[in-house]
A and B are shown apart, each in its own frame.
Chain A
Amino acid sequence: MGNAVVQLHVVDWAIVLIYIAFMLFVGFYFSKKQQGFDDYFMAGRSLTAPLLVGTLVSTFYGLDTLFGTSEVGFYEGVSAFFAYSLPYTALYVVMAILAPKFKEIFPDGTTMQEIAFKKYGKTTGVFTSIAAFLYSTNTMEMMGIGFILNLITGMPIWIGTLIGAVLVLVYTWTGGLWAVTMTDFIQFISMMITVGIALIIGWKAIGGYEGVFEGLIEWTGSAEDASYFFSAGAGYLSPWTLVSYGITAFAVLAEPAFFQRVFASSGPKEIQKAFTAGVPMWLSFDWCVTFLGIIGAAAIGLGIIPEVEANQALFAICGQYLPVGLLGVFLAGVLAAAMSTADSYFLVSGGVIGYDIYKGVINPDATSEQVERMTKLGMLASAVFAIALTFLFDAIMEVWVFQATIILSVALVPVYFGAFSKKPPKKIAGVLSTGVGLAASIIWYIWSNFFGTWSDDWEVYLVRIGNVELWQEHGILIIVPLVIVIYLIANAVGKVTVEEAA
């Protein structure tokens, strides 16, 4: 065991253990209440607005937001909020308008991929399902849980990763979407409240803006550099890279877990209410973690906390300012952030295997029990795949950009054109756009990983094409427009449409 960054009191440990035991209890409780696949995967299609807020927010806000945004805040100040978080919020607002329409158009829908199957046929459906499976792979959260357990216990990251995977898998496997939604609701509350308390206590304790600014001067060496932390447009990344990260926000529009919640809701109005109530909370959460990162940098400057890595600053700050008991709640909240995202994606990727592939392609006459069993096996396969991928990727942000590229390149265009265009879309448009999107994304990442050069300065892979040097992250800027062009041309020249099943 190595050195832990945060020392926990026995009371804090007790809170964390009670929290974990409670999550497992919820899973077992709901396992006894289910009757068939619709109950297991869709929570009986009866999710109301407050439950939707909890599950939507906590699904999309995982450790990447918690640690990623606070890390960017630590280095770049408020631009973490203005340049990284606001594009996502804008897309949540768009989703608030579009999501209820999907529920109206497909009242009996189950997954996003199902739209591709219905509108373009099996080939497009399978390509979209592969993208949804890859997108829903919990690599980021698995890496994150291992990282947290390493911070608090000093245990090796790979052991923490395995413990996290087993824990989340057990309660998702047993309880299905009801367990996921109820645990998400509790996890959302603990996650939000603890970052709010940490910000208020930390901000006051360090002396507010004046104290933070003084700390930043000490840390950066000049008032000019310190003021950079409070400049919204600041940042060391190039405009094109910012655009690439910004475009990943569009993944919100093709988010398989969002679609599952939308279809599992009790109606379009509940979805609208949920997004309206959720957006201010999303914003406040982003603000809190950004400023906790800034406080971290200032606290190092003032000598309040030791020199730690940027992604450890959030923990160090909370360890410094939160009292015994509340630190345990905070830690439970951090674990909650990881678990609430991981459980949702395990379920979604299980649904890809059980519902989209098994029932949609292999055995259309499968019984509800058979589909549920295959969904559970799909979850297990997803967990194994996620852990395997943790060895391939070094950085959490790298995984996210890869997954966002895949889902945007494959699913976004055919799903939206298919759902909203007045004329039936052409089969070939779906096949070509999803096929090219999937192949191009995978080839780009393999190529840049194995044949690109690693830049220590930027911590990214660089690919040189002629005189142009591209980041791995720029792939999304090339592939998505290409897919749109292919779709439009194929839809214009294609002749065959897929007749929707009645």
Chain B
Amino acid sequence: MDEFLMFYAPFIVLIGAIIIAFIVAPMDGAATRPPKEKKK
């Protein structure tokens, strides 16, 4: 198990993070969404 975590998992996480970055980057609906109004 430790062998996998030391030798293969780092690259899987790195490449996975890059792929996730490209997938979620265009989802920018919240970038300009106004904050919630304060409850009166």
Do the two chains belong together in a single complex? no
Binding site for A on B (CB under 8 A): none
Binding site for B on A (CB under 8 A): none
